[in-house]
Amino acid sequence: MFNPRPQVCYVAIAGQAPCVVVDDFLLDPHAVVAHAVAAQDRFAVDPANYYPGPELDLGRETALRLDEFFIQHVRRALGAQRTISVAARLALATLPPERLHPLQRLCHRDCADLAPGVGAAAAVVYLFDDPRLGGTSFYRATGSLEETARVMRAAHAGTAAHTGASGYLTASNAHFEQLCTIPACFNRAIFYDGTIFHAAQIEVPALLHGDPARGRLTMNGFFRFRQRSA
């Protein structure tokens, strides 16, 4: 499923672990898109994670194979020693800006509080041809931990005034500084530290579509791991 001889590079993120960028990630990416199209009726919105569109779990076998790739090609760059858990799913961003929850108008992190010695990582595989559908941007909070926590709590509670954006976040705002953007490219995967604030760089939301063959289809992976000793 995954390219055994991938093209791997590393993009620096100021003050953070690098983003690992892998081109030609899937051996047959069109087969994955075809699977998404065939399974479109099984995609569903999970309100618990605030993803702006429906998702489809890819099952344990795919998750374990993704973890094999992570172990072989990625974990050292992100400080991982041993994987604790892994999940993989397809996702299709579809919400127009006016329907976004305030929390979806901000950048976010892919993990809650982590136990000492435990780290998190995430992966995004771009499965669309039009780069205007957007890559991924990384951010840092400009305020204190307490201030940032207040902003996130207010957004979670639905207080739009605290989000600083009327749609998808695509640039620095009063609370977060954009550090870098990884452009989307068909069959490109990115792996990054799940504790880094990030957001999909959706600058042309009018292009979002509910058809997996036309919209912003991605494969997303989530990892928990034991951190490597310093």
Q: What pLDDT, in 10s, does the model give residues 46-103?
A: 988 899 999 999 999 999 999 999 999 999 999 999 999 999 999 999 999 999 999 9
Q: Which helix (H) or strand (E) holds 178?
A: strand 176-182
Q: 225 near 83, Cβ under 8 Å?
A: yes
Per-residue confidence at 229, pLDDT binned at 50, 70, 90? Answer: confident
Q: What integer pLDDT is reported at residue 157 of this predicted model?
A: 87
Rounded CA separation 41/114 (Å): 34
Assign residue 50 a region (left: φ > 0; alpha: ψ between -120 and 50; beta: otherwise): left
Q: What integer pLDDT is reported at residue 129 of this predicted model?
A: 96
SS3 for 44-91 is ECCCCCCCCCCEEECHHHHHHHHHHHHHHHCCCCCCEEEEEEEEEEEE
The whole-model pTM stands at: 0.94
The CA–CA distances, whole Å, from 69 to 3, 66, 167 equal 9, 5, 34
Q: What integer pLDDT is reported at residue 156 of this predicted model?
A: 86
Per-residue confidence at 230, pLDDT binned at 50, 70, 90? Answer: low
**Three-state SS at 9:** strand
Tell me how many degrees the CA angle 183-185-191 measures, rounded to the nearest 5: 70
Closest CA to 220 of 197, 196, 200: 200
Q: What is the pLDDT of residues 98-142, one digit of tens each?
A: 999 999 999 999 886 889 999 999 999 999 999 999 999 999 999
Q: What integer pLDDT is reported at residue 48 of this predicted model?
A: 84
> Average pLDDT for residues 39-51, to the nearest whole number?
93
Q: What is the pLDDT of residues 149-204, one digit of tens each?
A: 999 988 888 765 555 567 999 999 999 999 999 999 999 999 999 999 999 999 99
Q: 121 near 194, Cβ under 8 Å?
A: yes
Amino acid at 15: G
Amino acid at 111: C
Order of strands across the sheet with 216-227?
Answer: 7-11, 19-23, 188-193, 118-126, 216-227, 80-93, 55-57
Rounded CA separation 129/149 (Å): 37
Rounded CA separation 129/102 (Å): 29
The yes-or-no verdict on residue 15 having pLDDT over 80 is yes
**DSSP at 195:** T
Closest CA to 134 of 103, 169, 162: 169
H helices of the chain, in order, are: 29-38, 59-73, 145-156
